[in-house]
Structure 1
Amino acid sequence: MIRTNLLPFLLFGAFTYGQVGINTSNPHATLDVKAKNTDGSSSEGIIVPKLTGDALFSAIAANKYGADQDGAVVYITEAAAVANQTGQTVLVNDYGFYYFNGSQNQWMKLGSGSTIYRTDGTLTGPRHMTMDGNNLGFTGGRIGMGTASPDPSALLDLTSTGDGFLPPRMTKAQMEAIFHPATGLMIYCTDCFGDLGCIMVNDSKDPLVTNWGSMCTTNVPTGHVDDLQCASAVTSGGVHSGMAASGVTTTIPYTGGNGGTYFSGTFNSTGVTGLTANVDGGSLSQGNGNLLFTITGTPSAVGTASFAITIAGKSCSFTVDVDNFTASVASLTCSSAVFAPNSMIQGEVYTGTLTVPYTGGNGDSYSQMSFTQNGLTFTLPAGTLATGAGNLVYNVTGTPTNAVTMNLPISFGSQSCNVSKLVSPSGSGVGTTMCMGNGTKVWASHNLGADTSLDPHVPVKEISGNFYQWGRLDVVATPDSPAGAISGWNTISASDGAWNSGTEDVPVKTAIDPCPSGFRLPTRKEWVAFANNTTSNTIGSFNGLYTSFDSARQFICAANGNKLTLPVPGYRTYSAGATYAHNTNGYYWSSTENAAGYAYGIFFNNSNMNPALVERRTVGCSVRCIAE
């Protein structure tokens, strides 16, 4: 019906009004097309001729488009082939709407899927875009981020008062793996200069030979020297075939240092293999200076170990002699080793000696040896063995970092043994090794909160220590607290696992365990093992007077004769914190809970003892810590 009636309708409109309306009797333009339906029940719109770009190109030869076709519109379904993007179709490089510009004799894009994400293009003028208050500007061939007007002197202008510029971040190994880095390439090295990190720039003009320069906070240049003088190398300490190198260093002089930085390096030996020369990264002197290399490893044979090194732009080689170790002993007696002074406390500077007896010395000389452990350096100076029995005397210096029992490896020639040494935690007093059945454990020598400068085996008020509710960190009473009820006493029990997030067999200290670093609350099983593997006796009157502090029970380890003395300050009641059984009974917490609201501890007086007593968690008891 539409095909039958459309032509008369168009002619009627043209003859009557000079305008044509489709689906309207009142056109408002030369051609006015109204939708037949506006409810989506039919397809609406105008479909213009659809052609390929190559079809338009073919029309060029037939002169089908000229001034008379100015303004003609087509829809291109496929871009013209690259070879056909010329003449009238030079711009037909994508699908979409095109119109013919008769004055320019060229098809122009009217609308297409072309975007900056799909095709190249040209900005015809300055552009300014914003997102959430952030600016991006393109002006005069320059780009501005954070500004709509990039500075005329900058190709890229980053403007901000709250954010910085973050270059690519990578490790030193990743930086050095960049293939042919351009001159001026910048990155941030996360682990350069001993993990300090630094902005690095390749300032080499030769892409085959990179030269990463630093831009650290010290603002120092990349290190360079005029000369590395390996011929003047000086080695301290002896290296012996088949023995781990210890305390051996080699000093290499240099001239013409520029004060710049240099990377750490590791250089393996050739000739006699098995050794490594290690140098820490750092800064050169201005002018002449020295580089210190530490020699580590175990040489494979007697002979000469050679090290080819490259530091600060220069290379050279130095050698270290590897000798036979002829000094020998028949035995080392680590069980009789003696520290002087004996006390060693975490975090406190230690200067002393370790003496290890030996037998069967052959009278030969030996080079200096040293090793480090737990922040301490043990150095055996060069010397000569006695013929027969004698002592190896190590100088010990440093500050122990952890409160642990150190297992120190002593080795001389073919003989070796281990020396055990306790480092007590800061504020805990000296630790005591006690029998525990299957082995021993180190216990703090004083109650938590006691004056650790006093003799732990002489009961006085100052070694009684503080009172703690089970599972809580805070001190709830001291030996000087009044005997009566304590205002605000907490009557809510702590939760299971408050002092041990592991198991009884594998305890794990929690953040609210009040014991110092390196120590924790003992478990119920540990109190039981302690009680079952020691003998004990009582000290003092056990008179029950609040003003008395003279009583304790002393536990003795038969294997080593060590003693652990536990005062009897009583406890603080669960409901109000009043004192109970002072100078009569001792109550010490374990980290092990019982039923809801109850936990285990050790109880004793002058006649009885229960190493697995069950008590309310809100009671205030004493704490004696055990090494982790």
Structure 2
Amino acid sequence: MMKKTNLLILMFLSTFSFGQVGINNPSPKSTLEITATKTDGSTSEGLIIPRLPGNALFASIALGIYGNNQNGSIVYVTLPADNDKQIGQTIHVNGKGYYYFDADQNQWLKLGDGTSIYSADGTLASPRHVTMDGNNLGFTGGRIGMGIASPDPSAILDLTSTVDGFLVPRMTEAQMNAIIHPAHGLQIFCTDCFNDLGCLMINDSKDPLIPNWGSLCSSNVPTGHITDLQCSSATNSGTLHSGVAASGVSSSITYTGANGGTYPSAAFNSIGVTGLTANLDGGSLVNGSGNLIFTITGTPSAVGTASFNITVGGASCTLSIPVVDFTASVITLECSTAVFSPNTITQGDAYTGTLTVPYTGGNGDTYPQQSFTQNGLTFTLPAGTLATGNGNLVYNVTGAATASGPMSVPISFGSVSCNVNMTVSAGTSVVMCGSSKAWARHNVGADTSLNPDIPVKGINGNYYQWGRIDVVADPDTPPGAISGWNTTPAPNLSWNASGSELAPAKNTANDPCPTGFRVPTRTEWNLLVNNSTRTTIGTTGGSPTNFGFGYVLTCGSNKLTFPAAGYREPTAGNLDYRGANSYYQSSTELGTTGQYYFDTVYGGVASNSSRLYGWSVRCISE
């Protein structure tokens, strides 16, 4: 009787039309449409579907209640299934809420959970293929493919590309050696190993406490191994004096039974007399017998013997070098009357000269060579003998000042010290962090008499197509199309005759940079960007007349400013994005029609498939 009553009420409240049911609605718009009785909140509205605990759904598994015929069924779970019952169809029934039955997966799945393979652990039921902007990611049979939908059956990871490579973590040798307990087979790329050439390195030691980094360089030589290191017969050059910085001191150690492999740079600290380091530059062993040269740096703490426990190529020995007393002395150093000759030092320009520092009260004793570096300049006082009374210390000065402005040069001799003050003129190039190469401070074609750090029209410079020496536009070229625009890309090796990132060679026939400079490589741009801080100067805004905006890369007191000169489009040479962005050429090729470049807005190195753009050029020293 109750069922009949409910059905009668339903018929009164509903309208049946063409197989569609409307509740409180005379014109249903779908199979079932329910309209609220009231919308003012005075009555309870809604649809209550079957409510039952998760354990009830679990109990139905043994009875085979839910299968293909129940696909899409919805229930409201009032209590989650017990932990031991969250298996099979109810593996996901772990909380209150609405659940629907997915017969394909034979599982109850929570509505509105938002959980997917992207936000939680899960299992792919079959091979999957994901694409984004034309890039492929495939999952097949437990294998992963990047750049390919179906990874090779023999590979757990298949990376496929014709334009991009696989980049392992990059770090300095010091950072590599600081890795705690590296795994057997761990790989990194050492950016400064082997005299700053860089090398792919692999740890081939099975003992995580004693790593052994072997090289996988382009020379394809094995990791170096030595049978014997002969520290006892080492030949020492120069003399170590207590309290005096080591200068011109080195030790040559003979080795035997070498395999011709490579070895990384290394540094060994002294024991006994502390404060010293024996430094070995990475390189290659000869087959059989040879010599390793260790440069000694630091300041010995006392008179006595400095010992270094040396290990190279699996062989070890102890190098001992005597430290003697420093007996030469002066009463005063007269830094205020010291003289540079030549008396002008310009930032970034090579300098060769002397610094003469007068002294009083010399005791006539001998002294060793002394050397130190300040602001990119190396000051070397050759070994000599003091005058008895007054005299001069004459330092040989070489190098290139890295920063302009006031420079203070610390002079110490024995227990006496003072500072020589000098002003370094601003130059046309600057050495930034990460490299010993000097960067031009102006774009090619800019007015070098103007301050390169104040964006104005005169420092924007010219525009060049990749691989060509011809100027295709300058700041005064109208912004529209350029008649006769070259639409043929320059061939490979047009700027870098060697094609090598590590040993680039300027192609003087096509390179627009002045003598002593060339177009930088992608690697050199990366070194600059990765070792600098990027800021902006001026007001941005794309306009043919906006010459006042630029991007600044800063490293310590040194900086380079890149005016946002915009660029010329590849099809006809139209100007675009002046005052907002600019691209700077590199000599590195991408295939046969593309290249890499420095993007000032992105703040990094990017690639492009067309060599026909007109972009700015900033040069680096050869």
TM-score by length of 1: 0.51
CA distance in 1, matches of 2:559, 2:186: 49
Alignment correspondent of 2:318: 317
Q: How does 1:94-493 map to 2 (within 5 A)?
A: 96-99=98-101, 108-109=107-108, 112=111, 113=113, 115-117=116-118, 120-170=121-171, 172=173, 175-189=176-190, 198-215=199-216, 222-255=223-256, 256=258, 258-265=260-267, 267-273=268-274, 275-287=275-287, 288-328=289-329, 347=349, 350=352, 361-362=363-364, 364-372=365-373, 375-382=377-384, 388=388, 394=394, 396=396, 398-399=398-399, 401=401, 412-414=413-415
- Alignment partners' CA distance in 1, 2:173 and 2:253: 25
Instruction: Please give the alpha-carbon distance, in whole angstroms, between the structure 2 residues aligned to 1:313 and 1:160.
Output: 39
- CA distance 1:129–1:342, change in 2 (3 Å): closer
What is the CA distance between 1:262 and its match in structure 2?
A: 0.8
Q: Distance in 2 between matches of 1:22 and 1:413?
A: 103
Aligned to 1:528: none
Q: List gaps (5 residues or longer) in structure 2.
A: 429-448, 459-547, 549-557, 562-622
Which residue matches 1:84? Answer: 85
Aligned length: 422
Shift of 1:150: 2.4
TM alignment of 1:547-586, pairs within 5 A:
none
Counterparts of 1:46 and 1:509, CA distance in 2: 69
**C-alpha separation between the residues in 1 aligned to 2:9 and 2:559?**
95
Contact map agreement 1:371 1:378 (CA 8 A) in 2:
yes
Structure 1 unaligned regions, length at least 5: 428-466, 475-497, 499-507, 512-628
Counterpart-to-counterpart distance in 2, 1:83 and 1:324? 80
Root mean square deviation of aligned Cα: 5.6
Q: For the structure 1 residues 92 and 260, does the alpha-carbon distance in structure 2 shift closer, same or farther, using more than 3 Å as the test? A: same
Note if contact 2:279-2:297 (Cα within 8 Å) is conserved in structure 1: no
C-alpha distance in structure 2 between counterparts of 1:509 and 1:107, whole Å: 64
TM-score (norm 2): 0.52
1:301 is aligned with what amino acid? A
Q: How far off is 1:10 after superposition?
A: 7.6
Relative to 1, partners in 2 of residues 1:215 and 1:175: Cα closer, same or farther, differing over 3 Å?
same
Q: Is the 8 A contact 1:189 1:198 kept in 2?
A: yes
Aligned mates of 1:309, 1:370 — CA distance in 2: 25
Question: Contact 1:222–1:262 (CA<8 Å) still a contact in 2?
Answer: no
Q: Residues of 1 paired with 2:32 and 2:352: CA distance?
A: 99
Whose Rg is larger? Answer: 1
What's 2:34 paired with?
A: 35
User: Against the structure 1 CA distance between its residues 167 and 230, is the aligned structure 2 distance closer, same or farther, given a 3 Å change threshold?
Assistant: same
User: Residues 384-430 of structure 1, C-alpha deviation per residue, up to 9 Å, x if partnerless?
Assistant: 566x4586675736455478898766655455667788989999xxx
1:452 is matched with none
SS of residue in 2 equivalent to 1:181: coil
Give the Cα–Cα distance (whole angstroms) in 1 for the partners of residues 88 and 60 of structure 2: 11
What residue identity is the alignment partner of 2:307? S
Is 1:193–1:281's contact at 8 Å kept on the other side of the alignment? Answer: yes
1:554-603 deviation line (CA, Å, top 9, x unaligned): xxxxxxxxxxxxxxxxxxxxxxxxxxxxxxxxxxxxxxxxxxxxxxxxxx
Distance 1:73 1:99 in 2: 7
Call closer, same or farther: CA 1:473–1:140 in 2, change over 3 Å. closer
Deviation at 1:84, TM superposition (A): 1.9
SS at match of 1:230: strand
Q: How far off its partner does 1:219 sit?
A: 5.4
CA contact (8 A) 1:410 1:419 kept: yes
Which position in structure 2 is the counterpart of 1:7?
Answer: 7
1:165–1:276: structure 2 CA closer, same or farther, 3 Å change rule?
same
Aligned to 1:591: none
